Chains A and B, each alone.
Chain A
Amino acid sequence: MNVVIVDYGMGNIHSLIGALRYIGVQNVTVSDQYQVLKNADKLILPGVGAFYKAMQSIKEKKLDQSLYDLVINNYKPILGICLGMQLMCLSSTEQGEHAGLGFIKGTVRRLNDNKTRIPHVGFNQVLVDDHLKLYRDMTGQIDFYFTHSFKAETDFPINQCHCHYGDAFIASYEADHIAGVQFHPELSQKNGLKLLKNFVEHF
């Protein structure tokens, strides 16, 4: 198994690399090179930080083109984590309106300031759907670690699971070979390790 973490210079990937090795992935590589990404069995798009800056860096490295070719034209499985799941949407309103990678027909906006403290930090429960590949063997409310100020939204019937913080928001989406999680599986103890294992084994 060869998992490549897409490197666009943002986000802490120390724990992610450790988590993938812990669940038995033999090859974990961090790269921005098309050929390396192409040889991956699975891709992971991590990310912490601001949407616009991330997209800027992705475009500078021409990763938008590489990922479009691999994920959309060639059905390479990909998991977006936190900002990574937001980047795969159409656009975000963080620091102005900015276009994303557009793999998922969703948009990104700020959590509701009026109802809650922002950022949303800590373990929170996700009502999981065990028909989804991401949550195989899991049922009911599962705790995952969140740390974010923005959320993805969609009007389209994309498979999604929700978490509650002020309002319900999308904690994860899954469209065939493309998945995204707003939480950090690599920081969610065994619940997160199980989810990563599901991604690696079932996508």
Chain B
Amino acid sequence: MLRKRIIFTLIYSDGFFTQSRNFRLQKVGDLGWLEKHYQFQRISFSIDELIILNASKNAKATTDFASVVSQLTTNVFIPVAVGGGIRTAEDAALLFKNGADKIVLNSALANNPRLVKILIEHYGAQSVIASIDYKHHDGINEVFILDGTEKIDYLLNDYIQYVADLGVGEIYLNSIDQDGTGFGYDFYTINDIKNLINIPLIIAGGAGNVRHLQQGLQTEAIHAVATANLFNFLGDSLPNARKIMLDAGMNVATTNEVSKWNL
């Protein structure tokens, strides 16, 4: 049976990993901090996928970011999706070369659909994740690009259709309202859009504890739950979350036998 996935998202901005709340970023710590508090190589064995997003204001300095990705992914043997500021095929190539297994596109979906198609053709649909940021306003869901700063003309439901038609492999749906709140995912919207999507759906924005992740994974339409909350999942929280889910008989991947293998 296809397993559901637990994804950890890291948001990088000009040298620091950050905690985002409703898309306002707060610096938390650098690579050293992350290593100290998360022991990344070890933690990576209890998540199914890692997403690293570049929110740097400094012209999205892709070269520096690529080097951070390369360092972060050393001895990390899970899929890594990388995005933020990808404007050209060269940007994407650089990230793939530095450890990305997939790329995450957001603003380019609206601004440069031709680039999206080129990347899908070159790397395959399964290597391209469409990231969609939305916000609730007067009973409708509006879509934002450029790190949540620019509203576009599409409403969420139409945009999802448009993005799926571009041929992307997965959708990463992020609620700006729930982002960083720890209040739980926006199940109301997820329920509303679930029938529009026939590719894997990753949900983000709002997870504050294990129960939220569990609620997400128990929802049929959801293939993967993501959290970018650096504070709520410190230390052993992610390994523990996974253990709780496995003990509860949930459909997540297991590496039970590893203890007897001498790797």
Q: Are A15 and B101 in contact (CB under 8 A)?
A: yes
- A121 contacts chain B at the CB level, 8 A cutoff: yes
Q: What residues on B are CB-neighbors of A197 within 8 Å? A: 261, 263
- A103 contacts chain B at the CB level, 8 A cutoff: no
Q: Are A121 and B200 in contact (CB under 8 A)?
A: yes
Q: A22-B75, A189-B78 are in contact. Are A122 and B198 (CB under 8 A)?
A: no
Q: What residues on B are CB-neighbors of A190 within 8 Å? A: 45, 77, 255, 258, 261, 263
Chain B minimum-CB-distance residue to A188: B77
- B169 contacts chain A at the CB level, 8 A cutoff: yes
Q: What residues on B are CB-neighbors of A12 within 8 Å? A: 96-97, 99-101
Chain B minimum-CB-distance residue to A194: B261
How many A-B residue pairs have C-beta atoms within 8 angstroms? Tell me: 130
Chain B minimum-CB-distance residue to A123: B253
Q: What residues on B are CB-neighbors of A53 within 8 Å? A: 122
Give the contacting residue for B263; candidates A18, A23, A147, A187; CB below 8 A.
A23
In the complex, what distance in Å separates the CA atom of A49 from the CA atom of B127? 8
Give the contacting residue for B261; candidates A119, A124, A137; CB below 8 A.
A137
Q: How far is the CB of B114 from chain A (nearest CB, A)?
A: 18
Give the contacting residue for A14; candidates B99, B170, B200; CB below 8 A.
B99
Q: How far is the CB of A50 from chain B (nearest CB, A)?
A: 6
- B113 contacts chain A at the CB level, 8 A cutoff: no
Give 19 A-B contacts (CB < 8 Å), ordered by A residue. Answer: A12-B99, A12-B101, A18-B73, A22-B263, A117-B199, A121-B170, A122-B2, A125-B1, A142-B257, A143-B253, A143-B255, A186-B77, A187-B77, A189-B45, A189-B77, A189-B255, A192-B77, A193-B263, A194-B261
